[in-house]
């Protein structure tokens, strides 16, 4: 290949990558807009959430781990190749991390330990990220504490 063809091909690849970046940005913005809207519309309450319905097997979920205290299932709108939600089976007033009391220490520790087990089960030896959204400004849309386990790709920093 002569140098001028190589230069034109590199330019085309650059143009394609730039366009893909713009498309990804728009898709990401649309997703974030919908997440922000859902978070603003959500209100904390003791009413059953979608997670309670998943725990009670009233609606389907792809469950990847379950024990007597925690249920882990694949997120229906994954933000990484591996995106799993871990939830306590009993809410016990723990709608978000800011509502945690000393009595919740055991379940909070168990959620994180279970995230480690699930990460290993999912083959995330190279690393993973744990996220807990708390409140509308953090885009929490379901008021039943939950841990996001994300992996399978290089994460960026800062995350927000």
Given the candidates 3.10.180.10, 3.30.428.10, 3.30.565.10, 3.40.630.30, the CATH classification of the domain at 35-151 is 3.30.428.10
Complete DSSP assignment for 73-128: EE-SS-SSSEEEEEEES--TT-SSGGG--GGGHHHHHHHHHHHHHHHHHTT-TT-E
Q: Is the pLDDT of residue 75 over 90?
A: yes
What's the rounded mean pLDDT across residues 113-137? 97
Cα–chain-centroid distance for residue 91? 19
Which residue is catalytic, options 26, 83, 104, 146? 146
- Of 21 and 122, more confident: 122
146 belongs to the catalytic site:
yes
Out of 45-49, 52-56, 77-81, 137-141, least confident range: 45-49
Q: What is the pTM of this model?
A: 0.75
Q: Is the pLDDT of residue 26 over 50?
A: no
Residues of the chain with pLDDT > 90, as a percent, come to 69
**pLDDT at residue 104 in the model:** 98
């Amino acid at each position: 290949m002569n140098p001028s063809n190589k230069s034109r091909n590199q330019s085309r690849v650059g143009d394609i990558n730039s366009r893909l970046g713009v498309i990804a940005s728009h898709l990401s913005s649309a997703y974030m807009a919908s997440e922000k809207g859902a978070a603003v519309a959500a209100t904390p309450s003791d009413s059953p959430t979608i997670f309670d319905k998943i725990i009670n097997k009233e609606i389907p979920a792809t469950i990847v781990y379950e024990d007597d205290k925690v249920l882990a299932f694949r997120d229906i709108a994954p933000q990484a190749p591996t995106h799993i939600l871990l939830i306590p089976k009993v809410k016990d007033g723990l709608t978000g991390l800011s509502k945690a009391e000393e009595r919740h220490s055991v379940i909070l520790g168990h959620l994180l330990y279970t995230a480690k087990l699930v990460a290993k089960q999912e083959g995330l030896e190279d690393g993973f990220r744990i996220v807990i959204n708390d409140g509308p400004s953090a885009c929490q849309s379901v008021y039943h504490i939950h841990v996001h386990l994300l992996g399978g790709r290089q994460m960026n920093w800062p995350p927000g």
